[in-house]
Structure 1
Amino acid sequence: MRPLTEGEIKLLFEKLSKYIGENIRLLIDRPDGNYVFRLHRDRVYYVKEKTVKLASNVARKHLISLGTCFGKFSKSGKFRLHITALDYLAPYAKYKVWVKPSSEQSFLYGHHLVKSGLGRITENTPQYQGVIVCSMNDTPLGFGVAAKTTQQCRHADPLAIVCFHQADIGEYLRSENELT
């Protein structure tokens, strides 16, 4: 487990800023202690600084994971956010999309969100902006990218895609199914 390089930090923060903007500093300097990002086997972990010091006694080959996995770097060098980061990013999200109960299951199966399934959207959401997808009772369901601005969504066709699917909490079940 090692600290991230400057290039890795830049990629990570660019991805996080698409979803939470300038609130990244709130993830690091928290009232319950300082948190850091560490890299282990191409995965980025969000962990308390005190825990990192304790884990330094464990050999690298014996360490499986530490803290919460926020995502991984692909072979091409891009950073992909994992669904495990959702609970940490949702409270700080700048833009959110709420899904009608009739479309929740479709989104959780990995499909894009269409206008007919859109319950609400944060005012002044720009096109291609990262959004947190929530149910109507404010339960975070996943990540997405706004396909249209808030104004375009109001006048869109009911079958037009308004949010591109990125990740959802249903991935746990789908990936478990692939392993068996």
Structure 2
Amino acid sequence: MRRATSVGRDRLISLGVCFGKFTKTRKFKLHITALDYLAQYAKHKVWIKPNGEMSFLYGNHVLKAHIGRITEDTPEHQGVVIYSMADVPLGFGVTARNTIDIRKLQPTDIVVFHQADVGEYLRDEDSMF
């Protein structure tokens, strides 16, 4: 904020980190720029194996075969932060099932629906902001 004071108000476009934007239907869509802040305070986390990282970073959902660990008692349709096995935040999504049901699934079943990942910086660079 201190650096922004050296720019005139008529020339200042924005200040801070863009967490997301409102769609035309007035719903808020989180951007991947919010990941660092979400990861600090996330109650529910999912760690994916190295063989599933690239799939997730290309915008695909997380399959049961890719799950390394998951926070206990994670409910269905809960927002989660996706981590690599080295505890690097990769993105966020929404669980498709609760933790108990996930254990009973087939390896090809979807566990977490993809919402955003760090690969978006490269894929959607032109339309991001």
TM-score by length of 2: 0.91
Report the residue type matching 2:12 in the other structure: L
- Secondary structure of the structure 1 residue equivalent to 2:124: helix
Q: Count residues with an aligned counterpart.
A: 128
CA distances 1:6-58 after superposition (whole Å, capped 9, x unpaired): xxxxxxxxxxxxxxxxxxxxxxxxxxxxxxxxxxxxxxxxxxxx55x838941
Match of 1:163 among 105, 112, 116: 112
Residue 72 of structure 2 corresponds to residue 123 of structure 1: yes
| CA–CA distance in structure 2, aligned partners of residues 67 and 115 of structure 1 | 37
| CA–CA distance in structure 1, aligned partners of residues 17 and 24 of structure 2 | 21
Residues 130 and 176 from structure 1, CA distance in 2 versus in 1: closer, same or farther, beyond 3 angstroms? same
Structure 1 unmatched ranges of 5 or more = 1-49
Residue 32 of structure 2 corresponds to residue 83 of structure 1: yes
Q: Which structure shows the higher helix fraction?
A: 1
Match of 2:5 in 1: 54
Report the residue type matching 1:65 in the other structure: S
CA distances 1:51-75 after superposition (whole Å, capped 9, x unpaired): 5x8389411xx32321100010111
Aligned pairs (5 A) from 1:20-31: none
Which 4+ residue blocks in structure 1 deviate beyond 6 angstroms?
none
Report the residue type matching 2:13 in the other structure: I
Which structure is richer in relative contact order (CA contacts within 8 A, separation 6 or more)? Answer: 2
TM-score by length of 1: 0.66
| CA–CA distance in structure 1, aligned partners of residues 101 and 7 of structure 2 | 51
